[in-house]
Amino acid sequence: MTSRRFVQLDVFADRPGAGNPLAVVLDAEGLDDATMQAIARWTRLPETTFVFAPDAGGDYRIRMFSPRREVPFAGHPSVGTAQALLAAGRIAPDADGRVLQDGIAGRLPLQVRGEGQARSVAVRTPRAHVVEVAAADDPRLRDALAGLAPGALPPALMYGGRRWWLAELADEHGLRGAQPDWDAIARLAESTDSMGLCAFARADAGQPYDLVVRAWVGAPARFEDAASGAANATLAAWLASRDALPGGRRRYVVSQGREVGYDARLQLEIDDDGEVWSGGQVAFVVEGTLDWHEGSGNP
């Protein structure tokens, strides 16, 4: 048995309990696939990441597991893992404030701004594209959107590492009060090979954020995501393609998770090359060591 450095974080949050939980195993060399999956199942968090020595030219290599399966890419595990490594002194940004992450999705840069508790990290997400634009009365979406007043943009199916249906609602109040029809969302996800429905609305005047987002995952599990960097990056690409970014700005802030007991803030940016960066702050909650029987997949 080997003791490995282990942290739990809240990502896209400035305090514990507000963001999307993440576990990070900082010393993962020697762990096989079955053992990593067993650890991720044991943590019961949305994702658990495992850090390995980088490929040539990178700063570190990452693998991400949900409790059910390995995940090719997700935003909050990328941001949280980079923050954990920075805090541990394992990596340092270059002169431009960048670090390089290797993983199944390829090599992705992350931008580091600030220091200490105020530090924020943003990952350049895989480029997203429109799969299809649907009519507001599309029968596949009818039940999932029943009773919800639509916004200005039509629904769209986007791919950005994962497929998400995106739907704008008329206002913040309507979105925050929405009760998802989980059977309808599951049918939508399964029939279109998507994660489910990401609904969004423009923020009410005077709020410290620009958009409100709710991401309803329909398959393989049914749950509302506390804060999804990947879904929000896909949404940012959709808004940019329609010239519909909040206030016409290339940087904006999203509020997500309040309806399920969190209060995350995500920072989105579209750079001059049209690439989308998804990031925010991270709160450290647990720091210690993980002791696990290696190779067996069992504790």
Q: Which pLDDT band, with edges at 50, 70 and 90, does 294 fall under?
A: low
Looking at residues 22-50, what average pLDDT do you find? 97
Q: What is the pTM of this model?
A: 0.93
Is the pLDDT score of 117 beyond 70? Answer: yes
Average confidence score pLDDT of the chain: 95
% of the chain surpassing 70 pLDDT: 98
Question: Tens digits of per-residue pLDDT, 162-211?
Answer: 899 999 999 999 999 999 999 999 999 999 999 999 999 999 999 999 99
Looking at residues 234-240, what average pLDDT do you find? 98
What are all long-range contacts of 261-265, with beta carbons under 8 Å and residues at least 24 apart?
262/13, 262/17, 262/18, 262/19, 262/20, 262/226, 262/227, 263/13, 263/18, 264/11, 264/12, 264/13, 264/18, 264/19, 264/20, 264/226, 264/227, 265/12, 265/13, 265/14, 265/209
pLDDT for res 287 = 97
Looking at residues 21-48, what average pLDDT do you find? 97
Calculate the alpha carbon distances from 130 to 175, 178, 270 in Å.
Answer: 23, 26, 16
